[in-house]
Every structure is written in structure tokens, then in C-alpha cells.
Structure 1
Amino acid sequence: MKPASKSLWKKSVSGRVMVSILVSATLLGTTAACATKSGTDDAAVGVTDDVIRLGLLSDLTGPFKAPAEQQNLGIQLYWDQKNADGGACGRQVELVTRDHGYDPQRAIALAGELNDSVLAYQISVGSPTSMAIRAELEENEIMAIAMSWSPDLGESPSLVVPGTYFGAEMVDALDYLIEEGRVAAGDKVGHIYFQGDFGEPALEGLTYAGEQNDIAVEAVQIDPSITDLTAQVAELRKKGVSAIFLNAAPPQLASVAGLSEAQGLDVPIVASMGGYAPQLLDTNIAATLEERVLVVGSVTAYGADEPAAVAVRDLYAKSGSKVPPSQMVVLGYAISAVMDAAMEKACADSELSRDSLWKVFHGDFQIDTQGATVPLDYSTPGVSPSSQVIVLRPDKSVPGGLEVVEKDYAGPTVAKFLDR
């Protein structure tokens, strides 16, 4: 995995500071002490004596409407509680939401509007939309947490990836199946994936792990518009695959699960987090999902026992929200805690501004999200902030539709993959 160029990182290298943060206090709803100075720096865009403005570039009308709504709910739950406890850096946090509908050109226009009024972006949904605004973010040294685990985004000094890159994720996924005895040397596995920085980095990781373990990967690239995978599943069955990996969307997972059952292809199906939705458990393939599907990603289940998940469930119950609970709500809460911790450190060290926030994210910055995500370490620019994944299983009986099978798993191959 290539690190960002020196030109992109020249400011972060010259201004590197030591920052080691545990965000357990913020995740449990308490307010960390934060030094503030009288007056407001004119350069502190999005910051006044009383308010911090954070932008939300979301997809509320496009293909990721459902998960975006759930992520935004988690963000709102976090900051409502934080504001009730006194706010961040002695200020109330105001969220400014805009809908790009997953349209990169629309994202550019909206960012052009918001860049003059927000300190940073609490969330930027989608790889193509985040990449579209990348140049302007870097030019203005604005930080944004991107809702994607693409290594391409991780190469930007402005974009924060909240977990393990897609390639490393698939390396761990294959190692996990090997350790569980579901796949062995000499086997073949299938990989159904979208073109682009969701599926292609995942294929790279899966192929590498396969080569290291004498396992062949039968790759099948599909267009997102294809939701009937009859031919693709039949071909993988003909080739005798021992497992199917999926970097696609919930409709494709539904098709693969139903068709593999109908065709007698009784093998494990491993989906990246973006490929699963708990609503699938309300369909006629629920039993197949519970029996044969695993979901891998960087975020824990909504119903998990981790302190962060417990806090999310408590806030959700009090909110009366009608948005379906899911791990995406936990994700929104977790990325808010990450931004909160960074802002608290920035204003403790100096006046809160884009410059001080930039220095925090480009310092020696490790984060414990109290189990909401895998451990995160942003100390090495352009490198996956984690090498671990959380392995989950669909379960209709638990809130959010997923239960944790194994947390913070890193197989024996992932370190070699990341060190290439």
C-alpha cells in the first residue's frame, strides 16, 4: 500500500506532535476538560466563542440512504448528549447537514458552500464523493471523516478512514475461515465484487492471502445494477469453490445467499460490512443468512456488550427515533467520539482551529473507541489505521440483526500484506 506523497504530508511531518488519546470518557457521556482562550482566532473557521460547526455531507436521497440515515442518527445521539453535558471545548456543537445524493458534482458544490462555515466534516459519505472534494479539502487543510474504508481515501492527509482498509479486511477474512477449518490449502474461493475502490482493493487483499495459503481466487466483477446473480453463482458452483466472498451491496448478498441455497452450494459467504443490511432478515433468506453468512468490518454490532454499544442503545431508547437500529448507528456514534477527542486535544494545546485540529490528526494519534470499532492508530500517514476486523453473524433475535463472533481479529497474513 503506497503512502501519500511527501508533498501532501509536508505540513504534518514538520508539525508532528505527540498525541495519545483514549476516548473512553467521551464515549461514556462525560465531558473532558478542555482549555479555551478568550477571544476567537479570525482564522478559526466554524468556531466562535459559543459554537463549533461541523459539516455532514451525506447521502439522504441516493443508493446509501438507509445506512446514511442510521449513521447520522448515531452522530446526532452523540452530540446531543455531549452538548447536554456542556459541549466540546466549552462550546455547543452544531451539525450542518447537506445531501449530495451520492453525486460527486453535487458534493463539490456543497463543499464549496460549507468550507467557509465549518471547522471540519464530521462525515463525508461515499468514496467517489469524498474523492471529488479531496483537492479542496487539502488546499484548505480541512479534516473530514470519510465513510469508506478505501486505501485511496487513506492516502489523503485530509480524509480520515475509520477502520481497516478493504484489502486488509479480506486478508483477515480468509485467514479466519482457514483457522476455522472452512477453507484449506488447495481449495478455490469465489469473490464477487464491484469495480472501483470498494471491490478492487478487496480483491487485491484476497488474492494476496490466497497466494500465501495456496488457495485460488475465482474473481467475478459485477455492475451494481445486476441483482440477479444466477449465472455467477452457477459458475462458482461449477468451479467447486469452498467459500464466497462478497464486496457488493445487500441486494447482491440476498441473491447469492438465495441462489447458492437453491443450487446446493452450501458454503460460507463472507460479506464486507457495506454488503449487509439487517432488513434482509425480514425476507425468505433469513435462515440461510443466519446459517452461512459472516460479516466482517471495523464496527461492532448494535447489540454488542461493548461499553460504546451499550451507551448507543441507551441513547437510542431515550430518543424515540424511528430510524432502524443497526451497527451503522454505532459507527456514527464512534466517529463523533473520534472527532470529539481530536478537538478536545486541539483546544487543550492551543486555540481550536483548522490548523490545531490538523496537527492532532497528523500526530501520534491512537484511539480506543471503547469497543465501537477496532483499535485505531493514525500515527503513520497513508497506512491502514488498523489491521484487525470484527467478525459478526446475522441473527434475527438480537437488536440490530448482528451478533459478534470474534472481535479485534488479525490473522497471520495481514501484517505481511500491509508491510509489502
Structure 2
Amino acid sequence: MLRKAAPALAIATMLTLTACGGSASGDSASADGVKTGKGVSDSEINLAILTDYSGPLAQPATSGSIGLEIKLDQVNAAGGICGRQLVLHKMDTKYDPQVTTQQYRAIANKVVMIPQLIGTSSLMAVKDSIAKDDLPTFSASLNTAALKLEDVAIYTPPFEVELINGLVWAAQKAGASATNPLKVAVVAPADEYGTGYADSVKFAAEQIPGVEVVASPTYSPADNDFTAQATELKNSGATVVILANTMAQTAGLVGQSAQLGYSPQWIGYSGAWNAALAKPLAGLTDNFYVSASYGALNDDVQGIKDMNAALAQYAPNEKPSNFQVAGWLSGTATAAVLEKACENKDLTREGVLAAMQDLDIDFGGILPTVNLGTGDSIVSYQSRMNTVNAEGLLIPTTDWAETDQARAWGEANGF
């Protein structure tokens, strides 16, 4: 949710201060007539990424960071934004809320925006500080909980939409009906966000004749043994399992289930898969699908072409990963926002937040164009289904589509 307009009294106060030669926020006009504040000088626009470089999600999170970095490198090579170079401060949260808080405090006063913040728990740890500091932030945790936070926005459809669309596709593929029932299970973390994921799947299941959720095992982020969850899934008789977990749990869940002789159709959302899983799960992904709200490395669209060119130029030794695509999207969204703020001649935090309002963002075909709105609504209900190849890369099997069940869920929850 992007920050609402300041009350009239507050505006009057700021105008009075300005008239007296002062500023309520310390903002000032630069030599080129662009209003600047924290994190912005005549030559630089400072940004921060808070992500997991050395914790349990280090591999995919680092890939996402690289996608963001190469997009910013490309922008800088073209002259930057408003004649200023984009400088990225990389902060390692270790996927730990306490560390995230420390890293946020260390960098908050030095930047104008956070273009990528990884992890729902990390985001929630600093949400109040983000609101207090009026610090524009793009959440890389595509959870609808982020839509309710002040000064935070999501530039793609959220995980819940991916999960619901994945379930609808599976039901259609199986021909589910009252006379041809389909048993489904959903795996999610044992916290309020996991409960939200599972509830979205259950909501959709109730809208589809013949679909029944027969099990919903949970896990803790510290879990390494998934025997109990795999056993519950097998005993439930579910032929489709919806994975609302991170990629850190996918190998254990699928691998342990295989050891028990259980091989359902697996459907993960975008956060449940990474190309690095291909090797440990070799031979076990023939019936594995990913419901994703953004495109893949093999897509023949301009956005992917641009990303691959930037990857070859600025990070040639990096192995391809779809999390790089996610990072590229955050960079694309950030550049679009800053360009708009530049057009408005206001690169303060307030100016960046204003630029985010009702902004159309073209991702070059990697996903359909979205409008950020006011930051408190779902930007799109479209996703598509993918298989994974031997290298772990996503291969699309459907076109972009939205489902009535996803939109009904969004409306029921005020999005």
C-alpha cells in the first residue's frame, strides 16, 4: 500500500517552512532543478537490496540479486536516470528477521528506495520502520500480506494467485467433476502466511465441482526431514499436491515422497522451484509443474532477450536461473518508477512514492503489462503453467490466463 496524501494541516506546515527558507524533510533542489533528498545527489541515486546472501535461501536469492544488478548496470551504461548513476547497496539479511532489522537500520538513511526485499518474515520485521521512514519498497515476497503495508508494493501477481490458478488448471486437466472427484493436498509453512496460502487453495477448491482438499501438512523452516509430511500426503490419497513452500523444502518433500512410493502430480508456485533442484531431483520431475506469474529464460520476447544480453555482458559466469528473471523484473519496475519521478522532477522519497501511483509498467513481454494502482490491490490475476526440463529451466505449457476462482478470492479478501 502506497502512502496516502498528507493531511491539509501537514501540507500547510511544509509550505510555511519552505516559504521561510526551510524544509520539513531536508529536501532540496539540485542544480538541474530536480528535487532531491535522502539517497540522491547530483551524480548518484542510492538504492538498497535486502536479501539472503548467506542463509537458507542464498542460492535463489543471490540469483534474484544478480537479475536486479544487471538491469541496473544496463540502465547505468545508457546514462543512468536523470543524469545520475544507480548505486546498489547489497545488504545480507541471512533470511533472519533480527539481522534484517540491523541491516535496514544500517542503510535506511542512505538510500531513496529499496527495489528488492526478500522474505515475508524479513519484510514484516521492518514494515513499521519502512512506514515511519516513508521508504518506497518493492517486496520480492509475492505475498498479499505485503499489499496491506504502507509504502510497499508488489509488481507481479501474488503467490496466492499462482496457487489458485495452478489448482484450477490441474482440475481442468483431470476433468474433475462431481462424478469424477479429484483429491488434492496443499503443503505450506506453519505460520500465518502459510495458513493464508492453504486457505486460498481451499477457497478455490470449494468453487470447483469434484475437488476436495484432503490434506494440508505444514512444515517449519528448520525442518530437514519430511517423512511425516510425505507420509500424510501418501495416506491422504491425494493425486495432486500443491506446493506453497520455498525451494528449500521442495527437494525433501518430493524426494521423500518418492522413497515412500508416492508420486502425485506436483504443482508449485514460482517460489517453490529453482533450476538448482534439477540435479537432486533427477528423474522425479516428469510430473512436476510450476504455476508462475512471470516468464522464463527460454521465452522469445524482448524482455528476456534484453536480460540475456545484459547477463552475458555483466555476469557472464552466472548459471541461468529463473530467479534472475524475477530480479530483472524488480530492476525494470524500479527503473520505470525512477524515470517517472525524474520526469516529475522529484527524486525525493515522497516523489518516488508519488511516481509509483497508477504507474503502467511494461516488462517487455516477460509478463503482461501491469498498473501499480495505489499499491494495495492485486496488479494482475494472470499466470501460466510450466514444466521443467533436464536443466531445471521452466518450459511454458499454457498461455497467460486468469481464473474466475482467483479473482473471486481476491474480491472476497478486499484486493
TM-score tier after normalising by the smaller chain length: 0.7 to 0.9
> Cα deviations across residues 44-92 of structure 1 (Å, max 9, x unaligned)?
1111111111111121111111112111111111111111111112211
Secondary structure in structure 2 of the residue aligned to 1:372: coil
- Moved beyond 6 Å, runs of 4+: none
1:46-195 equivalent positions in 2, closer than 5 A: 46-181=39-174, 183-185=176-178, 186-195=181-190
1:152 and 1:197 in contact (8 A); partners too:
no
In 1, Cα distance between equivalents of 2:67 and 2:269: 20
Taking a change above 3 Å as real, the CA distance of residues 91 and 282 of structure 1, as seen in their structure-2 partners, is same
Question: What is residue 343 of structure 2 aligned with on the other side?
Answer: 348
In 2, Cα distance between equivalents of 1:401 and 1:167: 22
1:303 and 1:310 in contact (8 A); partners too:
no
Taking a change above 3 Å as real, the CA distance of residues 55 and 296 of structure 1, as seen in their structure-2 partners, is same
Question: What is residue 242 of structure 2 aligned with on the other side?
Answer: 245
**TM-score for the superposition, normalised by structure 1:** 0.85
Letter in 1 for 2:284: T
In 1, Cα distance between equivalents of 2:315 and 2:160: 38
Deviation at 1:40, TM superposition (A): 5.7
Letter in 1 for 2:65: N
The higher relative CO (CA closer than 8 Å, separation ≥ 6) is in 1
Q: Find the partner of 1:286 among 258, 282, 286.
A: 282
- Higher Cα radius of gyration: 2
Deviation at 1:94, TM superposition (A): 0.9
1:337-376 equivalent positions in 2, closer than 5 A: 337-361=332-356, 363-376=357-370
Taking a change above 3 Å as real, the CA distance of residues 270 and 150 of structure 1, as seen in their structure-2 partners, is same
Taking a change above 3 Å as real, the CA distance of residues 327 and 197 of structure 1, as seen in their structure-2 partners, is farther
Equivalences, count: 387
Letter in 2 for 1:113: A
1:294 and 1:394 in contact (8 A); partners too:
yes
Letter in 1 for 2:409: F
Q: Find the partner of 2:394 among 383, 393, 402.
A: 402
Letter in 2 for 1:402: L
Q: Which runs of 5+ in 1 are unaligned?
A: 15-35
In 1, Cα distance between equivalents of 2:235 and 2:122: 38
In 2, Cα distance between equivalents of 1:197 and 1:163: 21
Question: What is residue 304 of structure 1 aligned with on the other side?
Answer: 299
Letter in 1 for 2:282: A
In 2, Cα distance between equivalents of 1:71 and 1:77: 10
Secondary structure in structure 2 of the residue aligned to 1:86: coil
Question: What is residue 276 of structure 1 aligned with on the other side?
Answer: 273
Deviation at 1:263, TM superposition (A): 4.1
**TM-score for the superposition, normalised by structure 2:** 0.86
In 2, Cα distance between equivalents of 1:12 and 1:237: 55
1:143 and 1:358 in contact (8 A); partners too:
yes
In 1, Cα distance between equivalents of 2:329 and 2:158: 17
2:63 and 2:327 in contact (8 A); partners too:
yes
CA RMSD of aligned residues (A): 2.3
Taking a change above 3 Å as real, the CA distance of residues 282 and 89 of structure 1, as seen in their structure-2 partners, is same
Letter in 2 for 1:287: G
Q: Which runs of 5+ in 2 are unaligned?
A: 9-29
1:36-51 equivalent positions in 2, closer than 5 A: 38=32, 41=35, 44-51=37-44
